[in-house]
Amino acid sequence: MGRTAEIVQRATDDHSSSPTTLIEGYQAIREASEALCKPLEIEDYGIQTMPDVSPPKWHLAHTSWFFETFLLKPYLKGYREFHADYVRLFNSYYDQVGEYHPRPQRGFLSRPTVKDILSYRAHVNEAMQQLLGQTDHSAWADIETRTVIGLNHEQQHQELLLTDIKHIFACNPLRPVYRDLPQISATAAPRQWIEQPGGLIEIGATGEGFAYDNEFPRHKVYLQPFKLASRLITNAEYLAFIEDAGYDRPELWLSEGWKAIKEGRFSKPLYWELRDGEWWQMTLSGMQMLDPNAPVCHVNYFEADAYANWAGKRLPTEGEWESVAAVNSVEGNLRDAGYLQPQASETEGLQQLFGDVWEWTQTAYNPYPGFHAPKGALGEYNGKFMCGQYVLRGGSCVTPANHISASYRNFFYPADQWQFSGIRLAEDVS
């Protein structure tokens, strides 16, 4: 675990953390966002290629808006907002804060310019430094908690930045390169089954380290005995499914997925491309030949589920996944490793739990028993999306290493492909 992570986590665990370290964490995370944008041209910052994608500069501004809205305005005496219109322009979806610019029109905002937004960030950073220096503030505990949320929020947007840049570049026939990236050449280890006894276990955040509201309360779940695959499904394995007419056999698919296929909405992992009989895929390094040993990536829930059906297996539940992950350390091909693409691994035994790709579970994203969204606008962060989505676990190759944990619940709609998502199988023990 890196230094920043330690700082942030300690800050969250108890409120005895010295403000200096929180400030350092703040600086490191905020700088990281801007560093991620360094390879971009000014022109790249403003593009929105579909409603789910936000322009890179919008991410830079919105994360600053978060600190301005939830920390500076309520807690920093005399704080002067940077620009009156930004409250609306960079509000993502917090209805209790007020109206917001329509999501599909984020790509219409040529102004504020990149330069304006960097000034906005500097303005917010300066004020946040000031606020984080006021350890004797009567609301210090809230300030600390919200700052840590704000930093985790910024890290989520760092992942989105890379996810969205990939989409933006993939929509461009010139297929630009974000960065030349290293790549591991290896033969995938054979898949093994990790058998688990199940029983009455506990899942959810323990209270150690940062966790979002949707990871609480920790609670009991009863699991049947089950087996979990030791590694992720590879491109070669997924290709076998395609070549076995996987996309033409309705019996493998959920009804909605099959309908979407017939309407031509998807027919392969998002960035795959067949050129003269060979499969390529778009990566943050531009077009690359498909590595058969690397984990398949950018599949949606329908594809993950159909693949599992084809293989005669199933996807794990989030309880199953967490029960296994909770006793493993958070290590893997996360963003800090610098690959920004899932990688093959020849290590035997349980692997790739963290990093590489978000793993689809068969669990609908619902509140945990006893969950209550916090009062106020911050309560809109997670709770109001608990409908129609599925839980994904484990982080990906674009997730900051100190942002992910065994109890972390990510969620996407079953048709979504643009996030770094893949497949780990499970199986009943009969």
Q: Which residues of the chain form contacts with a copy of itself (CB under 8 A)?
A: 41-47, 49, 85, 88-89, 93, 95-96, 101, 105, 107-114, 168, 171-174, 176, 200, 219-224, 250-251, 253-258, 301-302, 317, 362-364, 366-367, 369-370, 379-380, 384-388, 414, 428
Instruction: Please state, in angstroms and rounded to a whole number, the distance separating the CA atoms of residues 158 and 218.
Output: 27
Nearer to a copy of itself, 183 or 366 (CB): 366
Instruction: Please state, in angstroms and rounded to a whole number, the distance separating the CA atoms of residues 277 and 289.
Output: 11
User: And the tokens for 18?
Assistant: 């010295």
Instruction: Please state, in angstroms and rounded to a whole number, the distance separating the CA atoms of residues 62 and 140.
Output: 24
- Provide, rounded to whole angstroms, the least separation between the CB of residue 423 and a copy of itself: 16
User: Which residue, among 89, 168, 53, 55, has the nearest Cα to 416 in the 3D structure?
Assistant: 53
- Provide, rounded to whole angstroms, the least separation between the CB of residue 96 and a copy of itself: 6
Nearer to a copy of itself, 14 or 99 (CB): 99
User: Which residue, among 318, 327, 320, 292, has the nearest Cα to 193 in the 3D structure?
Assistant: 320
Contacts 24+ apart (CB under 8 A), 65-68: 65/90, 65/91, 66/150, 66/153, 66/154, 67/124, 67/128, 67/147, 67/150, 68/124, 68/127
Phi, psi of 69 (to 5 degrees): -75, -45
- Provide, rounded to whole angstroms, the least separation between the CB of residue 392 and a copy of itself: 15
- Provide, rounded to whole angstroms, the least separation between the CB of residue 114 and a copy of itself: 7
Packing angle, helices 140-170 and 19-37, rounded to 10: 10
Instruction: Please state, in angstroms and rounded to a whole number, the distance separating the CA atoms of residues 166 and 274.
Output: 19
Instruction: Please state, in angstroms and rounded to a whole number, the distance separating the CA atoms of residues 236 and 6.
Output: 38
Nearer to a copy of itself, 44 or 144 (CB): 44
Nearer to a copy of itself, 182 or 250 (CB): 250
CA 336 to chain centroid, in Å, comes to 14
User: Which residue, among 219, 216, 163, 220, has the nearest Cα to 383 in the 3D structure?
Assistant: 216
Phi, psi of 219 (to 5 degrees): -155, 165
Nearer to a copy of itself, 96 or 187 (CB): 96
User: Which residue, among 95, 89, 94, has the nearest Cα to 54 in the 3D structure?
Assistant: 89
Nearer to a copy of itself, 197 or 388 (CB): 388
- Provide, rounded to whole angstroms, the least separation between the CB of residue 377 and a copy of itself: 8
Sheet of 226-229, strands arranged across? 193-196, 226-229, 426-428
Nearer to a copy of itself, 164 or 291 (CB): 164
- Provide, rounded to whole angstroms, the least separation between the CB of residue 317 and a copy of itself: 8
Instruction: Please state, in angstroms and rounded to a whole number, the distance separating the CA atoms of residues 285 and 175.
Output: 9
Nearer to a copy of itself, 6 or 180 (CB): 180
- Provide, rounded to whole angstroms, the least separation between the CB of residue 71 and a copy of itself: 21
- Provide, rounded to whole angstroms, the least separation between the CB of residue 226 and a copy of itself: 8
- Provide, rounded to whole angstroms, the least separation between the CB of residue 350 and a copy of itself: 22
Instruction: Please state, in angstroms and rounded to a whole number, the distance separating the CA atoms of residues 17 and 32.
Output: 22
- Provide, rounded to whole angstroms, the least separation between the CB of residue 313 and a copy of itself: 11
Nearer to a copy of itself, 241 or 339 (CB): 241
Nearer to a copy of itself, 66 or 178 (CB): 178
8 Å CB contact between 295 and 186: no
